[in-house]
Amino acid sequence: MLAAARLSACARSNFADRTLLDLGIDQLVIVGAGLDTTLQRVHDRFDGQAWLVDLPGVLAWREELFRNAGVADFAHHVAADLRNGLDPHLLKMAGFNTRRPAVILWLGVSMYLPPAQCRRFVADLSGLSHGSVLIFDYVLSPRHRDESGATYANAVATMAGKAGEPWLCTTAPSDARRWLEEAGWYVHQDIDEASVVPPEFWDRQTHLKPMKLIRLVYASLRVERRPT
């Protein structure tokens, strides 16, 4: 299970890194940043600015750990409670340009918010500039999982629940697409996480195999908005 968790983190990070660098957009917002190291991986190829959004205590913890480890953190910190959505004005106050497009990374977060808050979040982000991009992951609802995905989900959900972070949002791809399209997003990709792992990787594995559980999404704003 731990190996599968590590693979999941690497797969989604690789998907996000490649998409970010291919787009060439120079504003990056990492939501629910925690100890995310996207910028440390791509800083020599990403020519732009970044903002990290998380709870004040989490950002302070991150700052302390990075400082103690001697690791540079190339971003502006934006304190916010995502249970209340994401107000673009908070980003603007930290130097973010709301009139220019941005890439929003929202990874490993949606499953911990109730469905209504997830829908509110993508709607809040639709106030960003035309051409902005959202990259995120979500957990499939039980009837859309295969046997491997169901087994892994049961184990992870038990651990997450005991740690005080139960999964609150699981959904079908059709519903995830509807949430996005109703908020003005165009979905370019909505794919199984396992599909971004090279096929030859699976051939070398004894205990790991593809599973239907996590989906990766790349969407962009298709409607011209007037940022406030």
DSSP 105-167: EE-S-GGGS-HHHHHHHHHHHTTS-TT-EEEEEEEEPGGG--HHHHHHHHHHHHHHHHTT---
Tokens matching residue 192: 């199984």
| Residue for token pair 């911990």 | 112
How far apart CA 145 and CA 153 sit, in angstroms, is 9
Give the model confidence (pLDDT) of 132-142 as tens digits.
999 999 999 99
Domain count, the chain: 1
The answer to whether residue 184 sits within a structural domain is yes
Kindly state whether residue 116 falls inside one of the protein's structural domains: yes
- Could you give the 3-state DSSP secondary structure of residue 42? helix
Q: Band of the pLDDT at 227, cuts 50, 70, 90?
A: very low
Residue 50, domain member (yes or no): yes
Q: Say if 172 falls within a structural domain.
A: yes
Residue written as token pair 């302390």: 64
Q: Is 178 helix (H, G, I), strand (E, B) or coil?
A: helix
Distance CA 194, CA 50 (A): 28
pTM over 0.85: yes
Higher pLDDT, 8 or 226: 8
Tens digits of residue pLDDT in 66-76: 999 999 898 99
To the nearest whole number, what is the mean pLDDT of the chain? 90
Q: With 60 as the cut, is the pLDDT of residue 228 above it?
A: no
The confidence score (pLDDT) of residue 226 equals 43
Percent of the chain at pLDDT exceeding 90: 73
Please give the pLDDT value at position 164. Answer: 62
Residue 84's pLDDT is 77
Which DSSP letter does residue 213 get?
S
pLDDT tops 50 at residue 33? yes
pLDDT digits (tens, 9 = 90+) for 38-81: 999 998 999 999 999 999 999 999 999 999 999 989 899 999 98
* Rounded Cα distance, 131 and 149, in Å: 34
99 pLDDT above the threshold of 80: yes
At residue 163, the pLDDT reads 62
Print the domain residue range for 79. Answer: 2-221
Pick the closest to residue 108 from 174, 179, 37 (CA basis).
37
Can you give the pLDDT at residue 206? 87
> CATH number of the domain that 214 lies in?
3.40.50.150
Confidence of residue 225 (pLDDT cuts 50, 70, 90): very low
Tell me, yes or no, whether 226 lies in a domain.
Answer: no
Does any domain span residue 183?
yes
Residue 18 lies in a domain: yes
- Say which residue, 161 or 30, is predicted with more confidence: 30
Residue 185 inside a domain? The answer is yes
Strand, helix or coil at 43? coil
In three state form, how does the secondary structure of 49-110 look?
A: EEEEEECHHHHHHHHHHHHHHCCCCCCEEEECCHHHCCCHHHHHHCCCCCCCCCEEEECCCH
Calculate the alpha carbon distances from 217 to 37, 58, 89, 109, 211 in Å. 20, 25, 25, 13, 17
Share of the chain above pLDDT 70, in %: 95
User: ∠59-160-112 over CA atoms, to 5°?
Assistant: 60
The CA distance from 177 to 180, in Å, is 5
Is the pLDDT at 199 greater than 70? The verdict is yes
